[in-house]
Amino acid sequence: MSDLQNITQTLISGDGAALRGLVEEALGAGVSAGEILQDGLIAGMDIVGERMESGEMFIPEVLMAAQAMGESVEILKPLLAEGESSTAGKVILGTVKGDLHDIGKNLVVMMMESAGFDVIDLGVDVDPEKFVEAIKENKPDIVGISALLTTTMPMMKKSIDSIEESGLRNNLKIIVGGAPVNQAFADEIGADGYAPDAGAASKMAKAMYA
């Protein structure tokens, strides 16, 4: 089995310590942090998702895999950084109300921070009013909204509507993303951009801020 396949299988098993060891080993063997993330860890999470859907894996096992992934992403974090230190602008990020998925959102935080943005992470289950309050308080250039559930996608629109109704929409760019989201939905709810992954979100933010 290749290093990356081993990482995928160990992530699925939820053994965080073994996974960290394999990630360190792969890095030592010259596998890039980007490959480990995409072809090892995210590939594993996709299989976890399929097994969750088919009832082969249950929530506690999925949580163990998610925890193991988070710990390994911490190892990769400095290596995925683009090395830009100057502040590119301020970003507020959060996963919408009713949604507890944060791995993808955390990757977006990481990529934006490493691109030089000052990122305020509101976490998960973020109420539209909390976005509004955070914008008033921090005056960001960009707001990023994540959702992983089809049932919480409407909350993206509610969040954007609340920002608009509070008179804060001008001079603010809004990027949306998450597995069920696409460009058509982003257009429909009045977002300025849709990014399919964390790298694209960071590039889009840079282009918007430039």
List residues near ligand B1M by CB under 6 A. 42, 45-46, 48-49, 52-53, 59, 62-63, 66, 98-105, 107-108, 144-146, 148-151, 175-180, 195, 197-198, 201
Minimum CB distance to ligand B1M smaller for 140 or for 177: 177
CB of 8 to ligand B1M, least distance (A): 12
Q: What's the first-to-final CA gap in the chain, in angstroms?
A: 44
CB of 128 to ligand B1M, least distance (A): 15
Q: Token pair of 190, please? A: 């009045």
Q: Spell 61-82 as b/e; 16+ CB within 10 A means b.
A: bbebbbebbeebbeebbeebbe
Cα–Cα distance measured from residue 187 to residue 157, given in angstroms and rounded to the nearest whole number: 10
Q: Which among 45, 82, 67 is positioned nearest to 202, based on CA atoms?
A: 82
Pick the closer one to ligand B1M by CB: 29 or 201: 201
User: What is the C-alpha separation between 33 and 80, in angstroms, rounded?
Assistant: 6
Task: For residue 180, give the nearest of 164, 196, 165 by alpha carbon.
Answer: 196
Nearer to ligand B1M among residue 66 and residue 75 (C-beta) = 66
- Shortest distance, position 206 Cβ to ligand B1M, whole Å: 13
In angstroms, what is the minimal distance from the CB of 136 to ligand B1M? 20
* DSSP secondary structure code for residue 126 in this structure: B
Shortest distance in whole angstroms from residue 149 CB to ligand B1M: 4
Q: Of 28 and 161, which CB lies nearer to ligand B1M in the complex structure?
A: 161
Comparing CB distances to ligand B1M, the nearer of 150 and 183 is 150
Helix (H), strand (E) at residue 164: helix 153-165
The minimum distance between CB 81 and ligand B1M, in angstroms, equals: 15
**How far from the centroid of its chain's Cα atoms is residue 198's Cα?**
6
The residue assigned the tokens 């920002």 is: 163
Measured from the CB atom, the residue of 46 and 165 that comes closer to ligand B1M is 46
